[in-house]
Amino acid sequence: MNGTYRFELMVWGDNYYPGADTITITVADIISAMSGNAAAQRIAESMIAPALKVYPSPAKDNITLQYQDNINGQTSAIIYDMSGKIVARMSFNKDQAVYNRNLNVSTLQPGIYQVTVIGKDKKLVTSFVKQ
């Protein structure tokens, strides 16, 4: 919850004299915290959980592959049919935390396909339906 919170810790010493210290924590919406602040942008990107989405599903001619994580660099994607046969393979340079790539799947036969994306230290898998 956004806001400013104050926490106080009070301890009693050997001489029964109380001692206290207070800390103030400000919780801000990540979008407002990031605006205009490059360091905050880098911190926010480092907190992105790895995820892979393919949409629309079912697809007719094109799909969008959305791959997100906090590591940029050379990445590959492989599309398998349900028998495990590779039907498409591509490489790309992921240059941002959330990377979108449009793929033409018009030549694929109708069915269910599995997409595997392999990044530097991660391997994510999802599936889509081709009409």
User: pLDDT tens digits, residue range 89-111?
Assistant: 999 999 988 999 999 999 999 99
pLDDT at position 28: 74
Q: With cut-offs at 50, 70 and 90, classify the pLDDT of residue 46.
A: low
Helices (H), the chain: 30-34, 38-46
Residue 67, phi then psi, degrees to nearest 5: -120, 125
- Within the chain, all domains assigned CATH 2.60.40.2550 are found at 48-130
Cα–Cα dist 87/59, whole Å: 16
Task: Report which DSSP code applies to 24.
Answer: E
Count other C-beta atoms under 10 Å from residue 9's C-beta: 9
Q: Considering the entire predicted model, what is its pTM?
A: 0.64
CATH code, 48-130: 2.60.40.2550
